[in-house]
Structure 1
Amino acid sequence: MPQAVGVIQTIGFPAVLAAADAMVKGARVTLVYFDLAERGEFLVAIRGPISEVTPAVEAGLKAAAQTEGGEVVSYYIVPNPPENVLAVLPIEYTAKVQAFR
Structure 2
Amino acid sequence: MGFEGDYTDLALGLVSVQSFPAIVGIADHMLKEAGVTLVGYEKIGGGNCTAIVRGGTAEVRLAVAEGAERAKQFGQEFSSLVIPRPMPNLEAVLPIGQRLAQLATGRGHSMLSSHAIGLLETRGFPAMVGAADAMLKSADVILAAYEKIGAGLCTVIIRGTVSNVAIALDVGMLEADRIGELHSVMLVPRPLEDLDQTLPLASCWIEKPQPLPMLLSIQAEERELIELPDVLQTITITRQEEPER
1:46 paired with 2:168, answer: no
Q: Which residue of structure 2 lines up, in the alignment, with residue 87 of structure 1?
A: 197
Equivalent residue pairs, number? 99
Structure (1 or 2) with the larger CA radius of gyration: 2
Give the AA of the match of 2:198.
V
TM-score where L is the length of structure 1: 0.86
Unaligned runs of at least 5 residues, structure 1: none
CA contact (8 A) 1:29 1:48 kept: yes
2: CA distance, partners of 1:94 / 1:59: 27
1:19 paired with 2:156, answer: no
CA contact (8 A) 2:146 2:200 kept: no
Q: Which residue of structure 2 lines up, in the alignment, with residue 30 of structure 1?
A: 142
Unaligned runs of at least 5 residues, structure 2: 1-112, 214-245
Offset of 1:37 from its aligned partner? 1.9
Offset of 1:91 from its aligned partner? 5.1
CA contact (8 A) 1:32 1:97 kept: no
Select the residue among 212, 225, 230 that pairs with 1:100.
212
CA contact (8 A) 1:32 1:94 kept: no
2: CA distance, partners of 1:17 / 1:90: 17
Cα distance per residue 1:40-69 (max 9 Å; x no partner)? 1111000001110000000000000011xx
2: CA distance, partners of 1:97 / 1:58: 27
Same amino acid, percent of matched pairs: 37
Structure (1 or 2) with the greater helix fraction: 2
Offset of 1:23 from its aligned partner? 0.6
Worse-matched range after superposition: 56-65 or 85-94: 85-94
- Point out 4+ residue stretches in structure 1 off by more than 3 angstroms: 91-99
Select the residue among 72, 75, 85 that pairs with 2:182.
72
Structure (1 or 2) with the greater strand fraction: 1
- Which structure has more relative contact order (CA 8 Å, sep 6+)? It is 1
CA contact (8 A) 1:6 1:46 kept: yes
Structure 1 residues 3 and 64, CA, compared in 2 at 3 Å: closer, same or farther?
A: same
Offset of 1:98 from its aligned partner? 3.2
